[in-house]
Structure 1
């Protein structure tokens, strides 16, 4: 059951204290220092552009964009930006805090675990993912909010509210495009109402909703400029307005990692003061590397389809494991997957922790702990003591692959739920040690 934080629960109090500290990290520099940096000033600028009727993008799509998102997020930012920087920053911090709580609640509720979730097991994913959560507050990025939206959407879908789920999927996509990867999954699972709802409301959010405020012609022009500059631009130099980051160690997407391994690109190109560094195993050209990307993506997609159980064998456990793999794939399928994108591993991590704690089979619990240990080790290679080369070789990407493989193993080796329910009943009766 989803619930609100309680002041009578010590771990809930700890959560609230952490939110206050993270919010202070955002507001402190703005109130007492020289102003909060990272993406926060950009969000204020975008909101002010909407309020003043200015342009969000340069007219030439080849010019570097300051604001990389579609017009709708700028309109949403304009509401708190009307009251000033501090109200805007406070609003974004509150959104992250709410999203953090909802993500934890929904992840545990949707884990497919029939056992009662203890407070420490429920809190453990938040503890493990704390550095990623810190990035969400410190940078002002919306990925945690998007994760909460997507989880909420799937929760609604599981409770027979497909049209409502589509609204949330569409809103997440209208803010930051990569959640659109959910659409092929909805089509494959024949969730027609949710898929249609996603498409219809995405069109409404991108075209219809901004029109009364920005003007139909102005909004459509900006949408076209954004599309040409962000989605429609791709070359050997890079894509999506951030050429210096696309092939660098900072990007651990499937696209970027494949290009670094198959053609000679400098993964230190984001820093002109660093010596060029290469990691390619092959020496392909740009077009051939793209074919490799498509081939690898096709193999991964076919592998996912292979391990997905048919509708007749779906259970809450298998649905959780299936969605965990989906969230892994959506993370690395984004063309740009920087460190903070991997906050989306929150849900797969939660599912694996539940399997490690409560699977009735000792061997499967052991497998889950091994998967979690390897993933944790790989993720730790992003910490400052380690060189950027580990991220260039895709430490977070590999952790995602390991988690997805662990979840796939569970899908291929489902537990006997009848036996599990009997064991649970006997344990409750005190007849099983």
Structure 2
């Protein structure tokens, strides 16, 4: 027969057990947010894979199908630049992209669609990691950049979801563009030129990053790498289709881009570019915001002049701050915004690129949280970006991007003044404590 413990002993044992369990609970509680985030991420990835897998056949009629069909056409030595599906849903990239899609088209449609989605997630994670490293002025807790990146993606979530489920290449070309910038400022010019060449083959708009190579540690090597890589990427399809056929494809590419121009795209509400807003305002369109009635060619020349002037101002700022290592993230953010709004066709999914400047601004605010003007500009950018659909006729999304550009410049100026004054104070963060950001 077991002798029962005295009441005092039983109370002491229960108290010790309770304290032990409480200590375990507190220790486990520190990682609960991370566990919840991991579970939510896995659930989101699983849901996305199931969704795109079930709709893979239907997506063949959309953006995703353009690349898959181009890969099949390349394998079967059929024309890739055609208007069979109309001027919208047709292949418009460099021939080398069709060669890459050729490998993907060997996989069944459902599996290929899931693989394409997986590549989006991988590139997106790498993209946000690179931007976070460029944006961190001083070392902070390793989890702070992760949460900043997450918040930045939430702020562009509608565009991210649209990109992921339509199967566009926005994430991939944006990833290679940021990779080129990251490699260039880290003195790896040959790899930087190659990465930028791939981005240009995916979308022509990363050409606006080419002048930045002049401000990197070894500009000649970077420019030489870009030119050699572009030549190699244009020549590579010859190994698959032959030199004569490849020369024909290279000649057809710019001609096909001209043939697929749709004048009405210049003033559609979905197009939130600087060119679209100028077309809606300065030409005779169906909207009631026309200031003057220019023809579309005059609008195009005005837009071209404004884009050149804006690029000159932007690169003058880059030249002035080129010796400041803190300015690298600011340069990237401004170039990304410029590339987005001066793209003649800035559809909703193109605004996914604004996640990059959001990371830069939020990181700066972590280091200088009392900067009220930057908070106001950031809030204005978010509100304008998510205005109702019909308000977009007045360029609300475009205005939001410009407010974000102002926030980037303001946060850089604020951080520079604090650094020069020696007042850039960041709370000490240990590996086990929480950040004060």
1:111 aligns with 2:138: no
2:55 equivalent in structure 1: 29
Residue by residue over 1:321-367, the C-alpha shift from the partner in whole angstroms, topping out at 9 and shown as x without a partner, is 1211011001122221101001111110100111122227x2x3x22
1:320 equivalent in structure 2: 329
Cα distance in 2, alignment partners of residues 41 and 295 from structure 1: 36
CA contact (8 A) 2:364 2:412 kept: no
1:289 equivalent in structure 2: 299
Cα distance in 2, alignment partners of residues 186 and 27 from structure 1: 40
Aligned residue among 52, 55, 79 for 2:103: 79
Aligned residue among 144, 147, 152 for 1:125: 152
Instruction: Give 3-state SS (helix, strand or coil) of 2:417's partner.
Output: coil
2:262 equivalent in structure 1: 242
2:63 equivalent in structure 1: 39
Instruction: Give 3-state SS (helix, strand or coil) of 1:114's partner.
Output: coil
Cα distance in 1, alignment partners of residues 127 and 83 from structure 2: 38
Cα distance in 2, alignment partners of residues 416 and 64 from structure 1: 49
Tell me how far 1:418 sits from its aligned partner.
6.0
TM-score by length of 1: 0.83
Cα distance in 2, alignment partners of residues 121 and 304 from structure 1: 26
Q: 1:155 to 1:17 in 2, by over 3 A?
A: farther
CA contact (8 A) 2:140 2:429 kept: no
Q: 1:143 to 1:195 in 2, by over 3 A?
A: same
Please report the RMSD computed on the Cα atoms of aligned residues, expressed in angstroms: 2.9
TM-score by length of 2: 0.82
Superposed counterparts of 1:139-178, under 5 Å: 139-178=166-205
Tell me how far 1:13 sits from its aligned partner.
4.1
1:394 equivalent in structure 2: 395
Cα distance in 1, alignment partners of residues 66 and 83 from structure 2: 19
CA contact (8 A) 1:96 1:137 kept: yes
Instruction: Give 3-state SS (helix, strand or coil) of 1:57's partner.
Output: coil
Tell me how far 1:405 sits from its aligned partner.
1.6
Residue by residue over 1:389-430, the C-alpha shift from the partner in whole angstroms, topping out at 9 and shown as x without a partner, is x223222211111111222233444233265577348788x9
Instruction: Give 3-state SS (helix, strand or coil) of 2:425's partner.
Output: helix
Cα distance in 1, alignment partners of residues 400 and 342 from structure 2: 14
1:336 aligns with 2:345: yes
CA contact (8 A) 2:385 2:400 kept: yes
1:11 equivalent in structure 2: 37
Tell me how far 1:115 sits from its aligned partner.
4.2
1:95 aligns with 2:104: no
Cα distance in 2, alignment partners of residues 256 and 348 from structure 1: 22
Cα distance in 2, alignment partners of residues 324 and 251 from structure 1: 21
Tell me how far 1:264 sits from its aligned partner.
1.0
2:418 equivalent in structure 1: 416
CA contact (8 A) 1:57 1:65 kept: no
Deviates more, 1:319-328 or 1:287-296: 287-296
Instruction: Give 3-state SS (helix, strand or coil) of 1:396's partner.
Output: helix
1:4 equivalent in structure 2: none
Cα distance in 1, alignment partners of residues 152 and 427 from structure 2: 27
Aligned residue among 375, 378, 382 for 2:384: 378
Tell me how far 1:320 sits from its aligned partner.
0.8
2:358 equivalent in structure 1: 349
Cα distance in 1, alignment partners of residues 168 and 378 from structure 2: 26
Instruction: Give 3-state SS (helix, strand or coil) of 2:50's partner.
Output: helix
CA contact (8 A) 2:53 2:111 kept: no
Residue by residue over 1:203-242, the C-alpha shift from the partner in whole angstroms, topping out at 9 and shown as x without a partner, is 2112x11111021111221221121121xx3xxxxx7433
Tell me how far 1:37 sits from its aligned partner.
4.6
Q: Which runs of 5+ in 2 are unaligned?
A: 1-32
Instruction: Give 3-state SS (helix, strand or coil) of 2:90's partner.
Output: coil
2:275 equivalent in structure 1: 255
Cα distance in 1, alignment partners of residues 60 and 55 from structure 2: 5
Cα distance in 1, alignment partners of residues 59 and 252 from structure 2: 31
Structure with the largest fraction of helix = 2
Instruction: Give 3-state SS (helix, strand or coil) of 1:416's partner.
Output: helix
1:405 aligns with 2:400: no
Cα distance in 2, alignment partners of residues 214 and 301 from structure 1: 39
Residue by residue over 1:264-285, the C-alpha shift from the partner in whole angstroms, topping out at 9 and shown as x without a partner, is 123xxxxxxxxxx342212222
Aligned residue among 303, 307, 311 for 2:313: 303
Cα distance in 2, alignment partners of residues 211 and 58 from structure 1: 20
CA contact (8 A) 2:374 2:410 kept: no
CA contact (8 A) 1:104 1:126 kept: no
CA contact (8 A) 1:42 1:67 kept: yes
Q: 1:201 to 1:107 in 2, by over 3 A?
A: same
